[in-house]
Amino acid sequence: MKRSDIDPREKDKRTKIMGDNFQNVGEQVDEFQQNEGLMQTGAEDAQGHPVQEIESMCMNCHENGTTRMLLTKIPYFREIIVMSFECPHCGFKNSEIQPAAQIAEKGSRYLLKIENKEDFSRQVVKSETATCKFAELDIEIPPKRGQLTNVEGLLTEMIDDLESDQPARKEAQPEVYEKIAEIIAKVRAYINGEPGTLPLTFTVDDPSGNSWIEYVPDEPSHKWSMYEYNRTAEQNVFLGLISADEVAQHRLKEASAKKEATKSNVSSNLKEDETRPGDASDIENLANEVQTFHATCSSCFKPCETHMKTVNIPHFKDVIIMSTVCDNCGFRSNEVKTGGEIPSHGRKVTLKVTDPEDLARDILKSETCGLVIPELNLDLTPGTLGGRFTTIEGLLTQVYEELHGRVFTQTSDSMDDATKTRWTTFFARLQDAIDGKIGFTIVMVDPLAASYIQNVYAPDNDPNMTIEEFERTHEQNEDLGLNDIKTD
């Protein structure tokens, strides 16, 4: 149901019920003040929010100290609670922030391009679950206590932490001392905006969505950006939203469902369908039969037979699988043709193979499809291997056999050592992928949208697969002969 479809009277009724059961933050603070002895200090922030204090135990000396709290709102962000503790007995001090809101529905990632010294003054809210990174410095600050500070404050605090142990390192580990001294000098150079240092890329990644980098209105779009993303199962465990046991059970169930889906895929049942007898008199079985017709071998030009079968791929379309075998010269070929009209858009399919079970997925690579696997440095241009309908493992095996048998074996004697080493490394990586030892990403780009990878979660979306449509270029239409087609 859309939000606009809700009856206004029903909405008022829900609001009243929520109002009867939930208190706002101010009411909760007032109640806490009456019950726990929270006192007003008389101080206020710029927006008039009061600073309050309460007596609490010092975790350093176990005497009583004072905690001051301020509930305030950050413009363009949300409410936060700023807390500061001080112990008059041992002098221990501590400060941190806590979000005054619940964990967000999605995680958030903020990016800031620091291009001048003034950018180091940008305010930063870093929750206890956030990770901060400075790309050019190759520095990462892991999740720890929440802070309300600025970019310079984060770097300065890191420098102070490193410098506190430097005297001991100088005596015990002189080499480590020198390297850390170089890092400290480099960070100071960036903070001072010395020539050749800036720009600096600063990111804050928080799966709870409760961190923030100050936004300045009307600044260039490349300086500040914010992205939201769906949390992973590990991040939900880290935030305490679900347990590790629940994740393990979910993955076990998911793996079982994936295994069942790949067991019943089309390619694994093709041979069974071909050997299953059909009733020629029953027209409904025509689609299940293997059709045979006479042809001429393209190798020896002798008569041969070509077998053809129509296969329906669930959630895709009908395809025609053709196989030719010549008894005279032994020539074999097979190809796949898709039926139907030419679609108005091309299609790009990307699949992240993260589990050995994924290798059993059906894959249809048409003649017009280009296939790239970046992790293996494998790039198959359109037309390579022709049309193929097999599994991912089967396709990789065909690539291995073709390249090893027709390229490497035939020319390896004339290769120099460096080239031979590159080929050997490539085949080792490809074999690891076939054996399911490493993960990789398959990217298929087909201007005719005639290629397909099995979705084992169908009819639901596959979390590891993305399908994008794109407009064909003039050159692609020219290569496909579509520019000369006249439909008048």
What residue ranges define each of the domains in the chain, with the CATH number in brackets? 21-99 (2.20.25.420), 107-239 (2.60.120.1040), 291-338 (2.20.25.420), 345-411+419-480 (2.60.120.1040)
Q: Count the neighbouring beta carbons within 10 Å of the beta carbon of residue 199.
A: 16
Amino acid identity, residue 111? L
- CB neighbours (10 Å) of residue 208? 23
Q: Which residues contact 35 (CB under 8 A, 6 or more apart)?
A: none
- Answer whether residue 10 shows pLDDT above 50: no
As a whole number of angstroms, the distance between CA 193 and CA 56 comes to: 42
Q: Which residues contact 151 (CB under 8 A, 6 or more apart)?
A: 112, 114, 119, 120, 121, 122, 124, 202
Predicted local distance difference test score (pLDDT) of residue 468: 92
Q: Look up residue 42 and give its two tokens.
A: 């008389």
End-to-end Cα distance, the chain: 45
Q: What is the pLDDT of residues 292-338, one digit of tens each?
A: 888 888 888 888 888 887 777 766 667 777 888 888 888 877 777 77
Residues near 185 by beta carbon (within 8 Å), at least 6 away in sequence: none
Look up the pTM and report it: 0.52
DSSP 8-class letter at 205: E
pLDDT, residue 397, reads: 92
DSSP 437: S
Among residues 239, 188, 237, 232, which one has the least CA distance to residue 211? 239
Query: What pLDDT, in 10s, does the model give residues 224-281?
Result: 999 988 888 889 999 988 888 988 888 888 888 877 877 766 665 555 554 444 444 4
Residue 274: what residue type?
Answer: E
User: In the prediction, which pLDDT does 12 show?
Assistant: 47
Which residues have C-beta within 8 Å of that of residue 410, sequence separation ≥ 6?
Answer: none
Residue 72 · residue 80 · CB < 8 Å: yes
Of 14-23, 35-44, 155-164, the range with the lowest mean pLDDT is 14-23
| pLDDT above 60: residue 139 | yes
Strand 107-114 to 200-206 pairing: antiparallel
Q: How far out from the chain centre does Cα 456 lie?
A: 19
CA 468 from chain center: how many Å?
16
- Give me the torsion for CA of 122, 128, 130, 136, rounded to 10°: 60
- Quick: pLDDT tens for 211-227: 999 988 888 888 999 99
- Check residue 487 and give its pLDDT: 59
